[in-house]
Copies of this chain bind each other. A is one copy, B any other.
């Protein structure tokens, strides 16, 4: 079988991880790369992505030119906000390319962006390609795992999900991003400014609600600091008791009667003792599923995105989500 020709759109840390992973898959041929960062434009993608070798693909800022090179799929990793990337996605789809994107708001965009969702769906269908937003969270642990578990249920009345990440073992930028070392006041200011915020929880609530047929009329999000009870040290931070070590973010899906039907919680903080992803269904029967230790955010986002590449060719054209995807591993070579 022919290799799948892929364009990497966005070569930040996440995109670079995708590239390194794709280089291990014999069924994938990276044919182009788009990024606007002047420090990257013109350089070899392999080197910029940390693959420690040239791969003969130069990073280019002219998206339209790259999209015309002759490819099958775009792996898109530029922004969390759907409005910011709508033109980029439209250009990819209009070039007749399937797209898998880590844009968090694309993971289940129908509630927040109903018009834009319709438009993107239409463009994808016109060009007979699939547009898929996915990743580990949103896209997998707090939505797809719930839907998958619910396949074993005869009846479902409520869904909960809880992801605990020990940020001590993660990259410095992530440790900084969750407010490590801040005072509680600084943390709240950063939340107000929209700087401390994980994107995608309401999207996961929406996917779970629709997938399980649960009444969710209103979604509420709360972002709180996790405060150190004792000193916490990592390679990058030394946080005394009373200062912030991370974030607790909750999204509740309320029914029209005010009942919480979907309840998702994400905790990312330094020194979290019990990293795990746990999802539960109330129904017939009640079921719980746990991934002890949890799925590693960076590794898993790259894995899930790249693993979804073959599925793009199997899905109905249009705007699709993890809900529609028979998530599986992509061995690399294509075979049955």
Q: Using a CB–CB distance below 8 Å, which chain A residues touch chain B? A: 21, 24, 110, 136, 140, 144-145, 147-156, 210-214, 284-285, 287-293, 295-296, 299-300, 302-304, 306-308, 314, 316, 323-329, 331-333, 335-336
List the 4 shortest-distance A-B pairs measured between CB atoms, nearest first: A213-B331, A150-B329, A151-B327, A152-B300
Copies of this chain, how many?
Answer: 2
A287 — which chain B residues lie within 8 A by C-beta?
Answer: 291, 293, 295
A329/B292 in contact, CB under 8 A = no
A213/B156 in contact, CB under 8 A = no
B333/A154 in contact, CB under 8 A = no
How far is the CB of A64 from the nearest CB of chain B, in Å? 31
Q: A289-B291, A329-B147 are in contact. Are A140 and B152 (CB under 8 A)?
A: yes
B210/A154 in contact, CB under 8 A = no
In the complex, residue of chain B having the shortest beta-carbon distance to the beta carbon of A212:
B329
In the complex, residue of chain B having the shortest beta-carbon distance to the beta carbon of A147:
B328
Q: How far is the CA of A293 from the CA of B307 in the complex (A)?
A: 30
For A291, give its contact among B149, B293, B295, B323 (CB under 8 Å).
B149
A314 — which chain B residues lie within 8 A by C-beta?
Answer: 316, 324
A306 — which chain B residues lie within 8 A by C-beta?
Answer: 154
A303/B24 in contact, CB under 8 A = no
For A289, give its contact among B152, B154, B289, B302 (CB under 8 Å).
B289
In the complex, residue of chain B having the shortest beta-carbon distance to the beta carbon of A316:
B314
How far is the CB of A292 from the nearest CB of chain B, in Å? 6
A304/B152 in contact, CB under 8 A = yes
